[in-house]
């Protein structure tokens, strides 16, 4: 049902060359994204002929040719090559009219988002992200090879998303020395999304404006939670600013594939001459240390979610949310709203299918 929401699918550094593609999931369904010249296209990973998966590995390069009977699709998803077509289907390939399900695709910085078409909302990605769009655009200009952090979490994706919205667990789970004070944190809500700002140097609106005008200079930790399953944070690893992009892709009700990208941003840093001179060496050790600590914190979060999952079937009633869990409440509200929109769509689909089948049955063709 959430496949109609704009969802992060992958990153442009993975589609550098013409014909590069990667496989991922959207709303729990297998999809793939591919470069055709200047265009990036996305398709459901399912052949129109007998539903074989067109891509059977995570990435590669080359035309869309199904491995089952060699149907060949073009960049618009039309089957343009069908072996022995005249003999077997009595017509030319284009007259067969076979077509892949094509995704809506849009980018923000190096992030590639997609959604299944036909949802209730016609918002483009920029409208969907609202004030977050210029921010992600500025933060997520990735280098050619960001570091990658992948993990399998034995918990529902919502638990993983919620722990990134929770500023109360730092002492118990991450062994911090003290709890944050309300005055140290600013929360912002925009559309279905939300953000946490440490410090009050600026607001979401002023940061968004500064990013849009290409003059944003980071001062504190920030995290942006983009509905449904994306979290993007910025933090300082002296003196430079790093960005961590995290995607929590559901693979089953109790399993989540955590995909992370970690990189040093080009945003202004308080760099001294010594920093500049030592960068060729310090960049290597800094990248290593950032990875080490990011992974450690991630592991602590993931294991906490797995503990919750062990009794997820016993969750009853509403949790008691404190001031530093405010954004979990917002996320749940977004989830309710998006799911009820999704339900309305699948109801329409079911009705259409029911109508369609009564028409198709008597004239259904072939043995
Ligand atoms: S299932 Fe793809 S060509 Fe037959
Ligand atoms: Fe955490």
Would you say the CATH fold of 130-313+322-331 matches that of 2-124?
no
For residue 365, name the pLDDT band (cuts at 50, 70, 90).
Answer: very low
Percent of the chain with pLDDT over 90: 86
Q: Which residues of 109-229 form beta strands (DSSP E)?
A: 111-115, 147-153, 185-190, 193-198, 222-226
| CA of 82 relative to ligand 2 center, distance in Å | 51
- Tell me: pLDDT of 363 over 70: no
Ligand with minimal distance to 50 CA: 1
Q: Which residues of 253-306 form beta strands (DSSP E)?
A: 255-264
The 10s digit of each residue's pLDDT in 194-203 is 999 998 888 9
| CA of 19 relative to ligand 1 center, distance in Å | 20
The residues spanned by each domain of the chain are: 2-124, 130-313+322-331
Ligand 1 atom nearest the C-alpha of 70 is 3
Question: For residue 209, which of 131, 262, 280 has the smallest C-alpha distance?
Answer: 131
| CA of 321 relative to ligand 2 center, distance in Å | 16
The 10s digit of each residue's pLDDT in 45-58 is 999 999 999 999 99
Question: For residue 229, which of 257, 201, 200, 271 has the smallest C-alpha distance?
Answer: 257
Instruction: Report which protein residue has its CA nearest ligand 1's atom 1.
Output: 50
Is the CB of residue 260 less than 8 Å from the CB of residue 300? no
Which residues have CB under 8 Å from 16's CB, separation 6+? 35, 144
Q: Which protein residues touch ligand 1 with a CB less than 6 Å away?
A: 47, 49-50, 52, 66, 68-69, 71
Could you tell me the pTM of the whole model?
0.93
The 10s digit of each residue's pLDDT in 10-26 is 999 999 999 999 999 99
CB atoms inside a 10 Å sphere around CB 341: 16
The 10s digit of each residue's pLDDT in 289-325 is 999 999 999 999 999 999 999 999 999 999 999 999 9
The 10s digit of each residue's pLDDT in 210-234 is 999 999 999 999 999 999 999 999 9
CA distance 173 to 67: 47
Q: Which CATH number applies to 2-124?
A: 2.102.10.10
Phi, psi of 106 (to 5 degrees): -150, 155
pLDDT in the model for residue 349: 64
Residue 151: beta bridge partners? 258
Segment 340-364 mean pLDDT: 57
Residue reference for tokens 């593609």: 21
CA distance 301 to 304: 5
Ligand with minimal distance to 165 CA: 2
pLDDT in the model for residue 358: 40
Is the CB of residue 332 less than 8 Å from the CB of residue 340? no
pLDDT in the model for residue 355: 57
Residue 48 structure tokens = 């129109």
Domain topology for 130-313+322-331 = Naphthalene 1,2-dioxygenase Alpha Subunit; Chain A, domain 1 (3.90.380)
For residue 361, name the pLDDT band (cuts at 50, 70, 90).
Answer: very low
Positive/negative CA dihedral, 227, 229, 234, 235: positive
CA distance 253 to 231: 20
CA angle (81, 82, 84) in 5-degree steps: 130
- Tell me which H or E stretch contains 169: none
pLDDT in the model for residue 197: 95
- Higher pLDDT residue, 160 or 343? 160
CA angle (276, 281, 285) in 5-degree steps: 115
Segment 100-129 mean pLDDT: 95
Is the CB of residue 83 less than 8 Å from the CB of residue 70? yes
Q: Residues of 238-259 as b/e, b for ≥16 C-beta within 10 angstroms?
A: eebbbbbbbbbbbeeebebbbb
- Tell me: pLDDT of 347 over 90: no
Instruction: Report which protein residue has its CA nearest ligand 1's atom 3.
Output: 69
- Higher pLDDT residue, 347 or 72? 72
Q: Which of 32, 44, 45, 47 to mutate to test the pocket of ligand 1 (most atoms within 8 A of CB)?
A: 47
Question: For residue 235, which of 226, 223, 252 has the smallest C-alpha distance?
Answer: 223
User: Which DSSP category does 313 fall into?
Assistant: G
Ligand 1 atom nearest the C-alpha of 52 is 1
Residue 63 structure tokens = 């035309």
């Amino acid at each position: 049902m959430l496949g109609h929401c704009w969802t992060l699918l992958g990153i442009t550094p993975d589609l550098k060359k013409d014909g590069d593609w990667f496989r991922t999931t959207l709303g729990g369904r297998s999809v793939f994204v591919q470069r055709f010249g200047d265009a990036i296209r996305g398709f459901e990973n399912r052949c129109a002929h007998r539903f074989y998966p067109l891509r059977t590995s995570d990435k590669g390069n080359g035309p869309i040719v199904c491995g089952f009977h060699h149907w060949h699709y073009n960049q618009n998803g039309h089957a343009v090559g069908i072996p022995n077509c005249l003999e077997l289907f009595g017509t030319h390939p284009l007259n067969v009219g076979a077509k892949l399900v094509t995704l809506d695709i849009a980018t923000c910085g190096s992030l590639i988002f997609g959604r299944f078409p036909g949802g209730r909302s016609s918002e483009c990605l920029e409208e969907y992200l609202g004030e977050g769009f210029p921010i992600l655009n500025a933060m997520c200009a990735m280098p050619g090879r960001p570091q990658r952090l992948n993990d399998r979490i034995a918990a529902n994706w919502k638990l993983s998303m919620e722990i990134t919205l929770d500023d109360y667990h730092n002492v118990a789970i991450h062994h911090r020395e003290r709890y944050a004070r309300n005055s140290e944190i600013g929360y912002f809500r925009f559309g279905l999304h939300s953000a946490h700002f440490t410090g009050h140097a600026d607001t979401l609106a002023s940061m968004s404006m500064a990013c849009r005008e290409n003059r944003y200079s980071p001062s504190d930790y920030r995290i942006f939670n983009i509905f449904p399953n994306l979290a993007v944070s910025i933090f300082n690893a002296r003196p430079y600013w790093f960005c961590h992009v995290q995607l929590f892709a559901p693979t089953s009700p109790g399993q989540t594939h955590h995909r992370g990208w970690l990189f040093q941003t080009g945003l202004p840093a308080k760099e001294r001459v010594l920093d500049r001179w030592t960068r060729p060496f310090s960049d290597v050790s800094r990248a290593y240390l950032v990875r080490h600590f990011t992974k450690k914190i991630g592991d602590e979060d993931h294991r906490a979610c797995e503990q919750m999952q062990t009794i997820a079937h016993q969750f009853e009633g509403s949790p008691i949310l404190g001031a530093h869990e405010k954004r979990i409440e917002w996320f749940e509200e977004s989830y309710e709203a998006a799911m009820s929109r999704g339900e309305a769509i699948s109801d329409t689909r079911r009705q259409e299918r029911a109508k369609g089948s009564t028409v198709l049955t008597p004239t259904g063709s072939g043995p």
